[in-house]
Amino acid sequence: MVSGREPVRHRTGGWSWAGPAVVAGLVLAPAGGCTTERSSVANPPKAHEAPLPTVHYSFGTQPPPWTKPLNEAGGADAAGLAMGPAAGTARRFDSHLDVFANGRPIRVAPGLGVDGRLLSEVRTRGKGILVVASSDPGKRFTLGQVFMEWGVRLEPAHLGGFTADAEHSLTAYVDGVERTGDPAMIALLPHREITLVYGAPPRRIPTSYAFPRGE
């Protein structure tokens, strides 16, 4: 849990649902048939890797749209992410994030982790692509760090202004498979498709994403 920090300021706006481009390139599975396996979000490190960082953002409880924060450098620092004028090259890969609330897609803000000419080790491009570029080959990264940069609350029962209750669940999927545990601890890995669903699920849960060639 993060304590003693002020909420990240965002630009204002109304609901901004993602259009068809959000699901372009996705391979989808029926929402009711993709949970053939349940497993923990834990991803044990390999011998050369560091443990997963534990990062939770307890502010950011506003409803969507969740836009790019005004202070990207502050969010990256709070998430334990290095920021500099050039991207790291020792480790470079893409993951993908989809977010749904009550059956409708929510746009993942592009440009997270980019502050002028400074680039974070984890940043977002358009269409929910998460770019990981680090000079430390053993460093590991989590979904919680993305949401810290985004300034949006992500905890086991909370997604931004949404709270899980008897009628609304918060469910995480990795490559179309439901994951139990803390969604903030889901590791970012090459070509991993991560989906968060609050309330009623979409008709189909993404199982993969068609990344640009060469990435």
pLDDT at position 19 is 36
The predicted model scores a pTM of 0.78
The pLDDT of 36-51, averaged and rounded, is 53
CB distance 110 to 69 below 8 Å: no
CB distance 98 to 128 below 8 Å: yes
Alpha helices, H only, 100-203: 143-150
105-124 in b/e form (b: 16+ CB < 10 A) is: bbbbbeebbbbeeebbbbbb
CB distance 146 to 122 below 8 Å: yes
Q: Is 205 exposed, middle or buried (0-12, 13-18, 19+ CB in 10 A)?
A: buried
The whole-angstrom separation of Cα 151 and Cα 163 is: 16
> Residue 105 — very low, low, confident or very high, per pLDDT cuts 50/70/90?
very high
Q: What is the pLDDT of residues 124-176, one digit of tens each?
A: 999 999 999 999 989 999 999 999 999 999 999 999 999 999 999 999 999 99
The whole-angstrom separation of Cα 74 and Cα 115 is: 10
Which residues are CB-neighbours of 91 under 8 A, at least 6 positions away? 132, 133, 134, 135, 136, 137, 139
Strands 193-198 and 91-101 turn out to be: parallel
The whole-angstrom separation of Cα 4 and Cα 6 is: 7
More confident residue, 43 or 14: 43
Helix (H, G, I), strand (E, B) or coil at 184: helix
Residue 62 has pLDDT above 60, yes or no: yes
Q: What phi and psi, each to the nearest 5 degrees, are found at residue 22? A: -65, -35
Helix-then-strand count for the chain, H and E: 2, 16
Residue 5 has pLDDT above 70, yes or no: no
Q: What is the pLDDT of residues 10-34, one digit of tens each?
A: 443 333 333 333 334 444 455 544 3
